[in-house]
Structure 1
Amino acid sequence: MLLTLVFFFNFLREILQETMSADEEHHRESWTMFGNEVEKVELDVIRNQQMLRTRVDKMDLRRKVFRLSQRSPDFPVPLRAHMVWEGMTVKLSCTVQGCPPPKVTCVERQVGIGPHQTSAPTSPKSPICLISSYLIHTFPLKSECLSSLLALELQPEAQFDSTFSPTWAKEGTSFTLQCTFTNPLLPFQQDVSWFRDGVQLHQSSSTDITTCDNKATITIGTAHKEYEGFYTAKLRTRDGVQEHKSFVYIKDASAAALGGPASPLAVQVSDVNRDYIFLTWQPPSADGASPVEGYIGQDEWVRCNVHIQKACHFPVFGLKDRTLYRFRVRAVNQAGAGRPSKATEDVLTGDPLEHTRTTGMLSTLSTFEISDRLVPLPPTDVHACEVSDSYVVLRWTEPEPRGREPLTFYVEQSLAGQTSWGLASMDVVVSSPRFPVFGLVKEKQYCFRVRSVNKYGVSDPSEPSAPVSLAKPQAVPAPPPSVMAVRDTDTSVLLQWEEPTDKNGILGYYLYYSEAGKQDWKTVNNKPVVKTRFTVHGLKTRREYVFRVKSVSRAGNSRYSDESRPIMVKSAINVPSAPSAISLLLCSGSEMVLGWRAPSCHGGSPVQGYYLDQREKGTETWREVNVKPAKKRQFKVSNLICGHFYHFRVFAANLAGVGKPSDASEAFLCEKWTMPQPGEKRLFGAAVGRSAV
């Protein structure tokens, strides 16, 4: 019994303990859940407070921005001026800003215009209309702002009116070219530019360029042969650039001696050194009474060459260092020396490598070597850079290191294969690494060597050059073949020819003309023509002419080419220009009757007919309308689709062929006309008498 009670009490105690443990755990879990829920509620409260504060801040910011944005209306992009054609649709636009948003009203001449209303522009003086002034009024609530006035004023741009034709000027005189314009030049058209053979001309002491309201001129103070060529005036327009081009001929001035040659041209200076330059030029077109035998050069105006130089190049030697020189050339024939050429620009002699030269001894030399080598080193790379039939130009490289002292040179020469050397420079002081040697014997070979000289002494000789001999006289080029004249206008002829087989060294061509059967030859151009075709102006209408051509090179001019066939000067037959002003005369719904204006130029032959092309609006492909030419300036186009828009263009044709197409017409709507045809009238008789109806 006792054991049973003990067991029972123990069992109760375990049950009680388990119950208390379960209650404790439940109580603990309840408190944990309660703590988590409280934390969640706290987080939600904090989040809502932050959102509320953000919203309040945004609303406050909006109120501040709204207060700051309160201002009167403004036009950041105002109305601008327009120039329009009569009948065009004009769209005016501007940008308006303000707070609160303003209301906009367009006013013409103080009369309100609604958003879909139009105002009919009128102008009694011109097809270009003068649009009335427009005002933009803004009404933000109770405030009002008036925009700036917009005036669409008539400002027609200038076009070429009268232009200069081919012009002739005498060498040494002045000439003026002038263009006039249809209207005063607009501000963006003031810079009328002038060109000669594609090179723009600028204001200078010899060139005067003037542009005023409706006229542009250019004056050349002293005409030289170098100024011959195509002169072009360029005018800027809204669509691009318009230009007018014409040729200016420079005729020879009177000869210095009776029968003497004309002046050479294009004298150029190259290879400038301390005491040496190289001259080149082009031979004149007119030899005078006898062929040109050679040339003499002059510097300020002292003769440079003792003997006449046959070719158009010459080395000038013995000049002063750092001195300005100008050069000109005269041609010589049996009658004597001709007129001098145009002088070159000022040329300053000097050392071209002075800015790159290292002065003093090399830093690698020791003190003993510097004191022991005060005498200069010999030059290197001695060779002939220019070989003619009368001289040889030697060239070499100065020694390196060169030293600080001024350096000159001795030039020695010897026959090839011999050991005896003679002084070629004689008493001439050679300051440049260039030296021309004259007086050599033809068909013999020479070797040359050079010594450097300074105040301390003379260097050892350089290595000898390769054997050099005088060149054979340069042959003049062959004349151009196949000279042919083609009709151009009533006073001009297009001359064409072919290049010679050997065209090396050819600088251009001189042209000559004479009336058929008279052999009175006259020069066309005094500046060589580079191309193989040229339009000869200034001829007499219905006179027959023959032409011939010379090739030009540094060796001189070729003989004359064979004469062209005689040609009578009169207008050639060309294709006609394009028709214009295509208009719609009648439309039946599937057919259109078109009319147009005749070409402004028929090309020297009457217009034989017209061809039409058509295309639908929005397409790019043109379709042929008629195979047979239309004889009249009206044509009925069939097989059209009602309700479609069509563009048309017209070609004119004559004996020379079909000309260029006209501009495309405006888009014509294929729709049956219901109104009476223009000009249609009906006649009614009210009474009939002996002499009246």
Structure 2
Amino acid sequence: KDVASAQWVAISSSSKKRSHMAKYLMEGTQYLFRVAAENQFGRGPYVETLKPIKAIDPLHPPGPPKNLHHVDVDKTEVSLVWNRPDRDGGAEITGYLVEYQEDGADEWTKFQTVPMLDCVVTGLQKGKIYKFRVKAQNIVGLSLPDTTIPIECQEKLVPPSVELDVKLIEGLVVKAGTTVRLPAIMRGVPVPTAKWVTDDIEIKTDGRHKIETDNYSTVLTIRDCIRKDTGEYLLTVSNAAGSKTVALHLTVLDVPGPPTGPINILEVTPEHMVISWRPPKDDGGSPIINYIVEKRQSKKETWGVVSSGTSHTKIKIPRLQKGCEYVFRVRAENKIGIGAPLDSEPTVAKHMFDPPSPPGKPTVYDITENAATVSWTLPKSDGGTPITGYILERREASGKWVRVNKTPILDMKYRVTGLFEGNTYEFRVFAENMVGLSKPSPSSDPIKASRPITPPGPPINPKLKDKTKETADLVWTKPLKDGGSPILGYIVECQKTGTKQWNRINKDELIRQCAFRVPGLVEGNEYKFRIKAVNIVGEGEPRELAETVLAKDILSPPEVSLDVTCRDLITVRVGQTIRITGKVKGRPDPDVTWSKDGKVLVQEKRVEIAHDLPNVELQVKEAKRSDHGKYIISAKNSCGHAQAFAVVNVLDRPGPCQNLKISYVTKDSCMIAWESPVDNGGSEITNYIVEYRQPNQRGWSIVSSDITKRLVKANLIENREYFFRVCAENKIGPGPSIETKTPILAINPIDKPGEPENLHIAEKGKTFVYLKWRRPDYDGGSPNLSYHVERKLKDSDEWERVHKGSIKETHYMVDKCVENKI
């Protein structure tokens, strides 16, 4: 029971063991328990627990701390941190016991118990090595420890650091002549040293530079700054823990340097000059605002301003005096001031250039019947300005000079065309610059326009086209150059492998075509071949076949290919010619056969077979409908077998329709049905034509001519007879007709009539009986009724007809009866 309750609650009333697990207790509640034994006579007295028992989990010491390590070390103290244990033993961890052990000692010294996961162990001695351990503690006790590695107590090192003014980092800009201080605060343990460097040269206190350094700062002072002091200054502070380098940027503004020379005189006239220059190499640290251009005569000392506001590096100087010598100077200006000047060479105001001197004597070469190439050399002088081109003139012997080129020639040679064969020509050249033309060059030596003739070039791309054991078929292309004379023919030479001698094959006459069959080869030998072209001058250079030729028959299995027009379906009309063409290849020449439906075709009246290998052709004249089908061409030699086929369709009119039937005949219509022809003529049936006629007519009338189905309804006139016929039609035309053999009568369908009504004997005698009856109620669809009268003896099974023909009335006299017979 709960100690706070007066009522006992049974946990078990049937347990036979001397122990029992009490379940479903409330955590944190205190309980009392009692037990009584029971037998067949009843329950004995209870025995109770002496003290209440609290329902809580069992407690254990916690697990060891995790990841114990040091985070800082000084001369007399060490900072430790760790992580919580993986398990707390079932009770809250109340603290952590920190201990340390000096290197070489056996005992651990307790430092203190801390509640957090870090601790600073103090009171240590500098230079000694210690181990540290930490134990977790709860209400039950201490855990196992976690131990550090040996740690030596020594002075803490702090890497150096530098603090600069933001303006120094971004860059300090000063004017020339000012004093600059570059201060920096530095920190670090031990105290760092400072070093100033610029352009890879260490700065020391000397002249205009002064360095002041103490334990916490360093200052670089530069007096009377000049333009060359501009640049990057590197400050490096260092100690045992490391080093730190920072960059300071200094820009010293000054007037710009002189413009970059020389001053170029671009144009000179008696009235003006055009000069140009390049910007200064040093703009003084500030952009150039403009240039100040001045002039003076060489004999005077005063300068006159030409321009003080131009930003361009080119200017025209006007109002000069003809024949006077001038000197020009240019100064650059920025926001600081005006820089040093750049002076020009003295220049006289006059025309600057002269016409060029004449070119050298022309040389003429590469002469043909209508053209020649003329070349010349440079003039000795260009007149002071670049030559812009050349003018070429020609003349016939003792004729006038005629200009050859419309626009100036920029090259030192020119191809002259339009000459007349057999005429003699001379040439001369003028040089031209911006001032004008030079005097003419000396005239060239006279030349005569005529066709130059040389031996032809080598034939192009000779190769082996075919060969056998005794011959080789060679082909080639004519040379690119015929040497100025038509090629008369070709020479083929042969060299047997292993020898050096070339033997001419065509000894008697030249080969006119670009192909030749070399005879007389010996089977199994290898040969080289070369070919020469010949014109009126003589033989040209030979061209050799790239590969040697082995005298041997070429064996290859047959190849059969039909022409493109024969590969798909071949369609012809009746009476036309079926033509199948193709090519058959193979070495040796294969035997070729044509067949259709398993039957070999041979030459006959309508069939022509032409074999002119590699071309083959089969013609079937006056084609019939029965000629349609699959034609197979077979080629066979000692190396194999090949075949191809062509499908031929012969178009004709369709055959007759099948099974013409007339049904559902009435007095005003009937149904006509039939089946498709067995042969559609090689073309799809487009429609059917249905016709009719009466027996007394010769001409046929159309029921319908555009029927696509095989069933049609025909309109009739009552009580008339009709014949019908049907034919099929394709794109070639209508086929033969099929007719009905007997006419049909246009009446409604007739059935058997009903039985006559009220048959009775109206009168009788010894040898006769007079019978009467009434028309049947149902006449079967036809009012034209006739009657048949039959009789039999009573005991007989057979009926006999008593009259001939048919009876139209409803009465009849039966005679020739036997008296007293029933």
For the aligned pair, the TM-score class normalised by the smaller chain equals under 0.3
TM-score, with structure 2 as normaliser:
0.20
Q: Which has the larger radius of gyration?
A: 2
Q: TM-score, normalised by structure 1?
A: 0.23
Q: 1 or 2, which has the higher helix percentage?
A: 1
Which structure shows the bigger proportion of residues in strand conformation?
A: 2
